[in-house]
Structure 1
């Protein structure tokens, strides 16, 4: 028999899972968060829940919202369970569950009036975001803010009722400025290099479209700390809900499953105050860049390296991909030969040990992370996770054979058909365009690199063009398995 998750059921659930040790009626809002997805609830909300369990920081509770229509479904499910979430940590040696209660409200995504009222409230001292890598209106080739995006142009002309997170943030800052209230800190929790700078560029870039003086004020007065976030958090499906019901007797309509490992490294730049997250494991450092680059290149680059060969081999789960010697050894060789050598040193960290930890995490048989999730949104992720390593190696005159093969595998995946002939369903916001290019590239590999908004100067480099052409030609003539075999044997 299962117990439906709700505030009134916590005493019953406490015999099966950890529950909040604090009184939720004593929480008050201090953070407004855009993007209440699985990662946020497995990461930022968990850190806050742990802090509240110490009896500290109770004025830093979360109010959530979103900017997509799909966010309303999340809101309805969480509202029905009093904004509570069950977080299930899965490792090979065991599974644990905890109910978190750090969020106390969730504003309707379309209700800009209510959102702006919260953003203008002096109690809100941090506005945070997890809106995915693709939500920052970044030009893939330049990695700069794109002020010409239609959604940005709309907000610039309709600041009385903006629709994007950045429009709402800017409108909230404008209200506070007019009222003489100190600006809130804007904290990105997305997996983007220099995410604080990227967020600042988006908010100030939007302001510059209609008021340059406002843009200058944003850049001078609003804090945008950079941060590195990490926790493998798969999508919730019926599988996860059933595991929770069977293992813990909890009926949660949108639980979060994740690994035990988590990491949060932040620059300590919060002029209006912050919760004492260092007491629950977060790291505050003067410069997050070394940690951030390490994670994006080695962990996220590693995910991209295994995603496409595994997808082409019809492998479903990530841990199954790591059980396939060709995929596992391909990851190891590309990381050790080409990625790690261009990652700068990180304080108190051995990069080889970090790589080994990533491999162990990828191999977790309990987590249920899917290859399809890793392969999602390559048009936004390749320019962030793979191509910077390519650019660094080209500049150093070093080999890019393995990284070019990673790119060719992505192209082959975007053809839309696995090695066995199974259809690959659309898995990118630009899937139609990618598929068309991949079909052209089958006969003319360089056609794939003509997407200059993705490849930029890397795609024009003759060394990369040659290596990519060789890799894609091999994939089509010999297949994925044989191509990987040759690469690993040094005969590629």
Structure 2
């Protein structure tokens, strides 16, 4: 028999899962969060829940919201269970469940008035975001904020009732400025390089469209700490709900499944104050850059390296991809020979050991992470996770055979069929465009690299054009399996 998750059911659930040991009715909000998705609930919310369980930081509870219509479904599920979430941590040798209660409210997405009222509340001292890599209005080629985006242009013309997270943040800051209230700190928790700087550029860049003085005030007075976040957190489906019900007897409308590993490295730049997260494992450092570059190049670059060959070979789960020797050995060779050599040193970290840790995490059979999730949104992820390593190697005059093959595998995947002929359903916001260009590239590989907004200068470098073209032609001639075999044997 299962128990439906709710505050009143926590005493009954406590025999099956860890539950909050603090009084949730004694919590007060200190953080407003945009984007209450799986990663946020498996990461930031878990750290805060752990801190609250220590009896500390009870004035740092979360109020959530979103900016997409789809966020309303999440809100309804969480509202029905008193904003509680079941987090299931899974490893090969066992699983555990905990109910977290760090979020105490969730303002309806699209209710700009209510969101702005909360952002103007002096009690809110941090505004955080997990809006995905593609949500920052970044031009892929320049990696700079794109002020010409229609959504940004709309907010600039309607700042009294904006629609984007950045418009709402800016409007909230404007209210606080007018009222003489200290600005909140804006903390990105998304997996993008220099996420604090990128967020600052978006908020100030929006302001610059209609009030240059406001933009300067934002840059001079609002803190945007950079941070590196990490935890593998797959999407939730019926599989996860059933496991939770069968193994723990809990009925949760939107549980979160994740690995036990988690990491959060933050620059300690919070003028308005912050919770004492160092007591629950967050690492505060003067400069997060070495950590985030390591993670983005080795872990996220590794995900991109295995996603497309596995997808083309009809492999469903990530751990199954790691069980395929060709995919696993491809990952190892590309990482050791082409990615790790262009990753700068990281304090107190051995890069080879970090890579080995990543491989163990990818191989976790319990996590149920899918190849399709790793392959999602390549048009935003390739310029962040793969192409910078290519650019560094080209600058150094170093070989790029493996990384060019990673790019060719992505192109081949975007053609829309696997090697067996199975249809690949759309898996990118720009899928129609990518499919069109991938079909052109079958006869003329360089056509793929003409997408300058994605490939930038790398796509115009003759060395990369040659290596990419050869890899793509080989994929079409002999298929993914044989191409990997040739690469691993040094014959590509």
Q: TM-score, normalised by structure 1?
A: 1.00
Per-residue displacement from partner, 1:70-89 (whole Å, max 9, x unpaired)? 00000000000000000000
5 Å-filtered alignment, 1:235-246, equals 235-246=235-246
Gaps of 5+ in 2: none
5 Å-filtered alignment, 1:245-284, equals 245-284=245-284
5 Å-filtered alignment, 1:286-325, equals 286-325=286-325
Does 1:365 pair with 2:357?
A: no
Q: How many Å separate the matches in 2 of 1:159 and 1:137? A: 17
Does 1:78 pair with 2:78?
A: yes
- Partner SS for 2:266: strand
Q: How many Å separate the matches in 1 of 2:337 and 2:231? A: 25
Q: How many Å separate the matches in 2 of 1:213 and 1:396? A: 42
Map of 1:416 onto structure 2: 416
Map of 1:131 onto structure 2: 131
Does 1:467 pair with 2:467?
A: yes
Map of 2:351 onto structure 1: 351
Q: How many Å separate the matches in 1 of 2:25 and 2:72? A: 24
Q: How many Å separate the matches in 2 of 1:305 and 1:5? A: 38
- Partner SS for 2:68: coil
Q: How many Å separate the matches in 1 of 2:197 and 2:401? A: 32
1:381, distance to aligned residue in structure 2 (A): 0.1
1:365, distance to aligned residue in structure 2 (A): 0.2
Does 1:147 pair with 2:169?
A: no
- Partner SS for 1:160: coil
Gaps of 5+ in 1: none
Map of 2:27 onto structure 1: 27
Q: How many Å separate the matches in 2 of 1:408 and 1:161? A: 43
1:491, distance to aligned residue in structure 2 (A): 1.1
- Partner SS for 1:124: coil
- Partner SS for 2:224: coil
Aligned length: 492
Map of 2:105 onto structure 1: 105
Q: How many Å separate the matches in 2 of 1:110 and 1:446? A: 43
1:213, distance to aligned residue in structure 2 (A): 0.2
Q: How many Å separate the matches in 1 of 2:322 and 2:179? A: 55
Deviation above 4 Å: which 4+ runs of structure 1?
A: none
Does 1:44 pair with 2:40?
A: no
Q: How many Å separate the matches in 1 of 2:110 and 2:231? A: 29
1:232, distance to aligned residue in structure 2 (A): 0.1
1:156, distance to aligned residue in structure 2 (A): 0.2
- Partner SS for 1:455: helix
Per-residue displacement from partner, 1:293-313 (whole Å, max 9, x unpaired)? 000000000000000000000
Does 1:440 pair with 2:437?
A: no
- Partner SS for 2:284: strand
Q: How many Å separate the matches in 1 of 2:394 and 2:94? A: 44
Q: How many Å separate the matches in 2 of 1:368 and 1:482? A: 27
- Partner SS for 1:15: coil
Q: How many Å separate the matches in 2 of 1:44 and 1:155? A: 28
- Partner SS for 1:479: helix
1:110, distance to aligned residue in structure 2 (A): 1.0
Per-residue displacement from partner, 1:254-293 (whole Å, max 9, x unpaired)? 0000000000000000000000000000000000000000
Q: How many Å separate the matches in 1 of 2:158 and 2:112? A: 12
1:219, distance to aligned residue in structure 2 (A): 0.2
- Partner SS for 1:346: coil
Q: How many Å separate the matches in 2 of 1:219 and 1:433? A: 36
Q: TM-score, normalised by structure 2?
A: 1.00
Does 1:427 pair with 2:415?
A: no
Q: How many Å separate the matches in 2 of 1:396 and 1:459? A: 17
1:200, distance to aligned residue in structure 2 (A): 0.1
Does 1:67 pair with 2:67?
A: yes
Q: How many Å separate the matches in 2 of 1:398 and 1:215? A: 41
- Partner SS for 1:310: helix
